A and B are shown apart, each in its own frame.
Chain A
């Protein structure tokens, strides 16, 4: 399956799963909102230009926004993590190590620790920005902090489950074909 087709299918599945499954879960606590959809951006291939990544993040977030009737909210958060992503990868990995060998970020391509840190940073950023935008409208600082941490926790759990359930076969690419 080509990379493009694979990512188009992922786009649709992540949006539908978020809207119809996760958003329908009765809340356990007011701090906890299960978010998984942004994993799509974390899983995008290495070889997308930075401008392209930002645009894709924006469109992806906006698609979810049309379902949740909050135009701009998720789009802003997704654009942020899509823009920050290359910097985080650059910090965690020497450039030669991954880009030549693997298509996209995963445990096998980056190693367990760097990949976990990468997921952690972007998840916290995403939630912090998202809850911050909501908080601007309501304004309660402890609510803000609590929601960021609780939501990050639940998201990390969901990502862990997803990584275990759907093992992505990251092919080791041999020399130029």
Chain B
């Protein structure tokens, strides 16, 4: 017995070191469980405050670029307005629309909540963004995040005033997407190498693909609104052994300089989910 104690005392430093390693590695490899744990929320809130301070200064350096981006988006949205479309008169009389102006509001599926990006990483193998909007402001986990140029990721953790977003540049990320010009569903994944490119897999060979084709989110996702831009095809690589393409896609969002984002809330998700669970139960 005494020898055991002596042994432990002699190698106490080694044991302490191994203990710390074990703690660190457990945290690393069980991150998905840990980021739900309470202390990660507290840590997020604390680091979020530091990020916020820094961001207050940093935003000034890219105001102009950001302004251009938002103007571009404004122009795009304004072009979709109904007033923009004016067909030549084919009728003889002017018809006044008697429907309530906001009658479509009750059918709304997606609500866009603006949020400021206060923390961002691109260098790591798993990248996260911090947004300055949390559960007090209506954010919940598993909401989509899109930017002025294209999609960014989805929310994986919220604290009262901050939320953490799993970026598109994340090993566990997978978004169902298709080519804008035609069908062909695939999955967008990241290989962890170059933050400017993601990979679109599982696109059937039957489709003709050109460089520069737009990749958008699928209409079947209950997280992302349909038709949000993911990126543009940069390179087509045929997988010889299978009958599918794997496309190198340049992300629409420039992850180096993302500053503003919209968190997308699916208002019909609870109804959809309850229906699905009911089907699975039966």
Contacts and interface: CB of A to CB of B under 8 A. Distances in A.
Contacts of A61: 24
Nearest to A25: B123
B47 A66 contact: yes
A75 B21 CA distance: 8
A76 B21 contact: yes
A30 interface: yes
Q: Is the interface of B mostly helix, strand, loop or mixed?
A: helix
B43 A58 contact: no
A134 B192 CA distance: 10
Contact of A69 (B54, B121, B194, B195): B121
Given A27-B123, A83-B17, A66 B46 contact: yes
Contacts of A57: 20
Contacts of B21: 76, 79-80
Nearest to A57: B20
Q: How many of chain B's residues touch chain A, expressed as a range?
A: 35 or more
Contact of B24 (A16, A27, A50, A58): A58
A80 B119 CA distance: 28
Q: How many of chain A's residues touch chain B, expressed as a range?
A: 20 to 34
Contacts, number: 93
Nearest to A84: B17
Nearest to B127: A69
Contact of A72 (B27, B43, B124, B164): B27
A89 B223 CA distance: 54
Nearest to B119: A67
B128 interface: yes
A72 B125 contact: no
Contacts of A76: 21, 24-25, 28
Interface of B: 12-13, 16-17, 20-21, 23-29, 31, 34-35, 40, 43-44, 46-47, 50-51, 54, 119, 121-126, 128, 164, 171, 191-195, 256
25 contacts: A16-B50, A23-B121, A54-B16, A54-B17, A54-B20, A57-B20, A67-B47, A67-B50, A67-B51, A67-B119, A68-B128, A69-B126, A70-B124, A71-B35, A72-B26, A72-B27, A73-B28, A76-B21, A79-B20, A83-B13, A83-B17, A133-B28, A134-B125, A134-B192, A137-B192
Interface of A: 16, 20, 23, 26-27, 30, 33, 50-51, 54-55, 57-58, 61-62, 65-73, 75-76, 79-80, 83, 133-134, 137-138, 143
